[in-house]
Structure 1
Amino acid sequence: MFAGVIAGVMESIGDYYACARLSGAPNPPKHAINRGIFTEGFGCVLAGVIGTGTATTSFSENIGAIGITRVGSRRVLQVAGCLFVILGMLSKFGSIFVTIPDPIIGGLFCVAFGMITAVGISNLQYVDLNSPRNLFIIGFSLFMGLTVPEWMKANRGIIQTPSVEGNQIITVLLQTSMLVGGFLAFIFDNTIPGTEKERGILAWRKTEHGAEPMDEDQMKKAESECYNLPFPTNCCRFSRFIPILPEFRQQNVTVSEDNATSTRI
Structure 2
Amino acid sequence: MADTTIGTAAQLRDPNYTPPLAKAVPLGIQHVLAMFVSNVTPAIIVCGAAGFGFGSNSPDFPQMIYMIQMSMFFAGLATLIQTIGLGPVGAKLPIVQGTSFAFIPVMIPLVAGKGVDAIAVLMGGVFVGGLFHAFLGFFIKKIRFALPPLVTGLVVTMIGLALVKVGIQYAAGGVPAIGTPEYGSAQNWFVAMVVIVVTLGLKFFTRGMISVSAVLIGLLVGYAVAFMMGMVNFGNVGNAASFALPNPLHFGMEFTFAAILGFCLMGFVSAVETVGDVSGITKGGAGREATDTEIQGATFADGIGTAVSGLFGALPNTSFSQNVGLIAMTGVMSRHVVTIGGIFLILCGLVPKIGAIISTVPIEVLGGGVIVMFGMVVAAGVSMLSDVSWNRRNMVIFAIALSLGLGLQLEPGALQYLPSTLKVLATSGILPAALIAIVLNLVLPEELADEATEEVSGGMAGHGHGSLPHDDHV
**TM-score of the alignment, normalized to the shorter chain, above 0.5:** yes
Amino acid of the residue matched to residue 145 of structure 1?
A: T
Select the residue among 50, 57, 60 that pairs with 2:98. Answer: 57
How far apart, CA to CA, are the structure 2 residues paired with 1:182 and 1:116? 19
Aligned residue for 1:110?
157
**Do 2:173 and 2:184's aligned partners in 1 also have CA atoms closer than 8 Å?**
no
Q: 1:114-150 deviations in whole A, cap 9, x for unaligned?
A: 2233223322334735654433322222122234213
Alpha-carbon spacing, 1:49–1:189, altered in 2? closer, same or farther (3 Å): same
Instruction: Report how far residue 37 of structure 1 moved.
Output: 0.9
Decide which structure has greater helix share. 1
Aligned residue for 2:33?
6
Q: 1:56-106 deviations in whole A, cap 9, x for unaligned?
A: 11111222343478896322232221122122122xx43323442212212
Alpha-carbon spacing, 1:46–1:96, altered in 2? closer, same or farther (3 Å): closer
Helix, strand or coil at the partner of 1:57? strand
Alpha-carbon spacing, 1:20–1:133, altered in 2? closer, same or farther (3 Å): closer
Instruction: Report how far residue 8 of structure 1 moved.
Output: 2.0
**Do 1:18 and 1:116's aligned partners in 2 also have CA atoms closer than 8 Å?**
no
Alpha-carbon spacing, 1:95–1:151, altered in 2? closer, same or farther (3 Å): farther
Instruction: Report how far residue 189 of structure 1 moved.
Output: 0.8
How far apart, CA to CA, are the structure 1 residues paired with 2:127 and 2:110? 16
How far apart, CA to CA, are the structure 2 residues paired with 1:95 and 1:68? 32
Helix, strand or coil at the partner of 2:98? coil
Alpha-carbon spacing, 1:181–1:151, altered in 2? closer, same or farther (3 Å): same
Alpha-carbon spacing, 1:139–1:87, altered in 2? closer, same or farther (3 Å): closer
Q: Does 1:136 align with 2:177?
A: no
Backbone CA RMSD of aligned residues: 3.7
How far apart, CA to CA, are the structure 2 residues paired with 1:177 and 1:62? 24
- Map residues 118-157 of structure 1 onto 2, 5 A cutoff: 118-123=165-170, 124-126=172-174, 128=182, 132-152=186-206, 156=207
Q: 1:137-179 deviations in whole A, cap 9, x for unaligned?
A: 2222212223421333xxx5xxxxxxxxxxxxxx234334431
Alpha-carbon spacing, 1:13–1:228, altered in 2? closer, same or farther (3 Å): same
Select the residue among 120, 125, 129 that pairs with 1:76. Answer: 125
How far apart, CA to CA, are the structure 1 residues paired with 2:45 and 2:129? 21
Q: Does 1:186 align with 2:234?
A: no
Aligned residue for 1:239?
none
Flag structure 2 segments of 5+ consecutive residues without an equivalent.
Answer: 1-27, 53-59, 86-91, 113-120, 237-246, 254-310, 312-349, 357-474
How far apart, CA to CA, are the structure 1 residues paired with 2:67 and 2:102? 21
Helix, strand or coil at the partner of 1:111? helix
Aligned residue for 1:47?
82
Select the residue among 85, 89, 101 that pairs with 2:148. Answer: 101
How far apart, CA to CA, are the structure 2 residues paired with 1:178 and 1:64? 22
Alpha-carbon spacing, 1:69–1:30, altered in 2? closer, same or farther (3 Å): closer
Instruction: Report how far residue 7 of structure 1 moved.
Output: 3.1
Alpha-carbon spacing, 1:131–1:18, altered in 2? closer, same or farther (3 Å): closer
How far apart, CA to CA, are the structure 1 residues paired with 2:184 and 2:96? 42
How far apart, CA to CA, are the structure 1 residues paired with 2:169 and 2:186? 19
**Do 2:43 and 2:64's aligned partners in 1 also have CA atoms closer than 8 Å?**
no
Flag structure 1 segments of 5+ consecutive residues without an equivalent.
Answer: 157-170, 206-223, 232-241, 250-265
Alpha-carbon spacing, 1:182–1:47, altered in 2? closer, same or farther (3 Å): same
**Do 2:71 and 2:99's aligned partners in 1 also have CA atoms closer than 8 Å?**
no
Amino acid of the residue matched to residue 45 of structure 2?
A: A
How far apart, CA to CA, are the structure 2 residues paired with 1:23 and 1:94? 37
**Do 1:18 and 1:120's aligned partners in 2 also have CA atoms closer than 8 Å?**
no
- Specify which structure has the bigger relative contact order, considering alpha-carbon pairs within 8 angstroms and separated by 6 or more residues: 2
Size of the aligned set, in residue pairs, is 191
